Amino acid sequence: MIEIPVVFSGQGDLPQYATPLAAGIDLRANIEEPITLNSLERKIISTGLSIALPEGYEAQVRPRSGLAAKHGVTVLNAPGTIDADYRGDIGVILVNLSKEPYIVNPQERIAQLVVAPYSTVKWQSVNSLPETERGQGGFGSTGKK
């Protein structure tokens, strides 16, 4: 477990895990009044959360499965990446993919945040890559016999 400095301008408690084994922390809408998302409309919804991730970590904003399955509302750029050097409010880009308007209510759980380590790379330019059984087989190629 890592400790992350946080500034929280939202209402209520800091975001938390819903269950002891959950990977994602629930993010809530930090809004004063309900916001309507019409069909195919997208809006950035504030969470009131700003964090200081340690070097070598990122935070990923991911959809909530219940919101997507029940209402067709999801995170547009999933997963959205929060870099370790970003210090602003974490906004969630919600999009309504259903045909019906959806109302986002204050303090509603709208997404989840997963914090994970990452690696940086240094490119090594070569003339060819080592061969594999798959080779250059692209989308759907691993299911072919």
User: Which residues have CB under 8 Å from 14's CB, separation 6+?
Assistant: 6, 8
Average pLDDT over residues 83-93: 97
* Strand ordering across the sheet containing 42-46: 42-46, 91-96, 73-75
Residue 56: CB atoms within 10 A of its CB come to 12
6-119: CATH architecture: Distorted Sandwich (2.70)
**Residue bearing tokens 């409010």:** 89
Average per-residue pLDDT for the chain? 94
pLDDT at 136: 86
What is the value of pTM for the model shown? 0.87
Please determine, for residue 45, whether its predicted confidence score (pLDDT) is greater than 70. Answer: yes
pLDDT at 138: 81
